[in-house]
Homo-oligomer: A and B are copies of this chain.
């Protein structure tokens, strides 16, 4: 896989003797380059179906409209843009939202503090980021419990050490032992100091989004942040058709600062959208067009991503279900709609409803990861570690999923049809009844020929049995421990680290704890 792997040498801006000393002793952590697809997208909607859905989405925006809640400035922007605003309801004339979306870039670079780990989001690319948001964690040894800041830091470390993960993510779990109004400081500090991969900012308050921009300014330099995108943050829409003031406030901060936002309906089909695929796609498109259009009203050219978190519901229990065929159809279809809108696309992930990292979890997750690759997703949040409908971040599942992400890297390369790959000479050399194990072509190519799991068991039955007949979760536990035991912090200019710590300490000082 050497063709996809970036070296780990980093270039700090500035940095003193301590940084150089640390650099000399740091172990190599290999990270694959983000995926560039050399395979087609799988498309399930015909041209006619696409036109019907696009036309219906315009009807939704024009006739029904969307609500921008507790956000007079947004209503004013929409009024000026030509929408019909009545109370908090914004009705958008046919074609206006799509037109406004045109100023959003089809692709953008998110910079990491290690430039080797920059990612380009859009086009044929796929960038993989870990799970986001669970209030609980699960470990094989300790079971399920509320997540803490120590868990958070451990997930950031695992993400940093995961070869196939390109992005450090955001709220990899909710550190419930830290007051809500102070969490974002500790979370950002962890991403900025424990990893050198790109990361996400806070969205739970506009002021916390501003803190994220300010801390990024310390890490990257304010000038750099002014001119470059260094965060991609998650802005959820309150489906159906509602944009709340807090999320939009965060979006406004990021858009104004040229920082990227995923604008994403959060839909459990049957609850927040119709039970049908076509109906859900209509609503998703209407919501994303309204949200992206709004981002462009705040700042034309602000980088945004067409998000679609969409799953189905179990009508018996009311639980969200994952890895289902309806979710797959919506994910494939939304990819087509995003490409026609010229926007990067976010969907899919290591989704599952299972309580344990067992077979159910793996079936559901593999279904979702496969559709994510083939549907043309550009940014995959939750690509590893998701458990129990997103309530739980699982340490074992994090490394299990992260291992599976390697498959996508090989798949995306497509089929090599070079003369070497055609292997006619090998077939000649071996002939009928022979074998290829020792032939010249095999010797020359076997090292890069086949993707290999770093986690799964490939041993003979007897060896596996003697070694304790371990299942995947047990193997994953060992891997989690080994990764955390060998983790070494990537070097960072100590002056920058100090400035970040000072900023956080200063902001926290005297701030009363709050729990929302």
Contacts and interface: CB of A to CB of B under 8 A. Distances in A.
Given A240-B431, A325-B410, A460-B317, A449 B276 contact: yes
B283 A427 contact: yes
Contacts of A446: 270, 275, 315
Contact of A450 (B48, B321, B433, B449): B321
Contacts of A326: 410, 449-451
A52 B424 contact: no
Interface in A451-477: 451-453, 455-461, 464-465, 469, 471-473, 476
Given A282-B423, A423-B279, A459-B319, A274 B60 contact: no
A96 interface: no
Contact of A358 (B52, B67, B471): B471
A317 B312 CA distance: 41
A318 to B, nearest CB: 8
A354 B441 contact: no
Given A415-B278, A417-B278, A270 B437 contact: yes
Interface stretch (A35-43, A187-195, A206-214): A35-43
Contact of A354 (B354, B361, B457): B457
A505 interface: no
B400 A359 contact: yes
Given A44-B415, A436-B270, A471-B358, A275 B451 contact: no
Interface stretch (A215-223, A293-301, A364-372): A364-372
Nearest to A355: B464
A282 B358 contact: no
A156 to B, nearest CB: 23
Interface residues of A, number: 126
Interface string A345-363: 0000000011111111111
A12 interface: no
Interface in A417-438: 417-418, 420-424, 426-428, 430-437
Nearest to A326: B450
Given A271-B436, A274-B436, A358-B472, A279 B426 contact: yes
A433 B237 CA distance: 11
A238 B434 CA distance: 10
Contacts of A458: 314, 316-317, 319, 321, 353
Pick the most buried of A45, A49, A238, A457: most chain B CB atoms within 10 A of its CB: A457
